[in-house]
Amino acid sequence: MKHIFKDTNLIKPAVFGATDGIITTFAVVASVAGANLSPSIVLIMGIANMLGDGVSMGLGDYLGERSERLVVSKGECEDACKGVWKTGVVTFTAFVIAGVFPLLPYFLEAFGVPIAHESQFMYSIISTMITLFVVGSLRTIIVPIAWWKNGLEMLLVGSAAASVAYLFGYLVDAWVL
């Protein structure tokens, strides 16, 4: 099967960035919803997560890739480190693009689309589940496993992380707030 990526070194950061962008952004949404906080807090925390964590992931990927190439090339980075910045950019871009989907219902309401506050979290869950499944399914382009298995695998991983975040927010609301 022909890869859509000319540089196969960019596959891992694309999948990793998208997965983490969806899951960590939804974890923020789930914890805020679990704590029964205002929808505006979801947007503030979600956007802060997307930008802060996205930059951190991109720069971390760049440093990790550069370090790995330096080790392999025994400290001679001149040729080995060419284009190393690409993995960081791909990680950041995939993180931010995928991270938008859990926030869509909150963005829509902020831009005047009437969505009841009590429905926003449910729409976020649906948007996140669809995005996780689609991104997982798209891995079939590069991973020779059935599209639905790839989709379910990513959906299950994301659901586990989201459940932990929601439970934490719920417990904080019940015990602290």
Q: Hey, where are the domains in the chain?
A: 8-170
Residue 20, number of CB atoms within 10 A of its CB: 19
* Higher pLDDT among residues 107 and 79, named by residue: 107
Q: How sure is the predictor about 1, in pLDDT bands with cuts at 50, 70 and 90?
A: very low
pLDDT for residue 5 is more than 60? no
pLDDT for residue 99 is more than 60? yes
Share of the chain above pLDDT 70, in %: 95
Q: How sure is the predictor about 155, in pLDDT bands with cuts at 50, 70 and 90?
A: very high
Structural contact between residues 75 and 108, judged by C-beta atoms closer than 8 angstroms: no
- Across 1-5, 8-12, 27-31, 53-57, which has the greatest mean pLDDT? 53-57
Give CA–CA dist 72/9, Å, rounded.
15
Q: Which residue has tokens 């914890």?
A: 31
Query: Token pair for residue 131?
Result: 């995005």
**CA distance readout (Å), 90 to 112, 119, 161, 164, 165:** 32, 33, 23, 28, 26
Single-letter amino acid code for the residue at 54:
G
Residues 6+ apart with CB under 8 A from 95: 17, 18, 20, 21, 50, 53, 54, 57, 58
Q: Which pTM value belongs to this model?
A: 0.84
DSSP H helical ranges for the chain = 11-34, 39-72, 77-80, 85-100, 104-110, 117-138, 147-175
pLDDT for residue 11 is more than 90? no
For the chain, give the longest Cα–Cα distance: 58
Single-letter amino acid code for the residue at 75:
G
Backbone φ, ψ for residue 87 (5° rounding): -65, -40
pLDDT at 77: 80
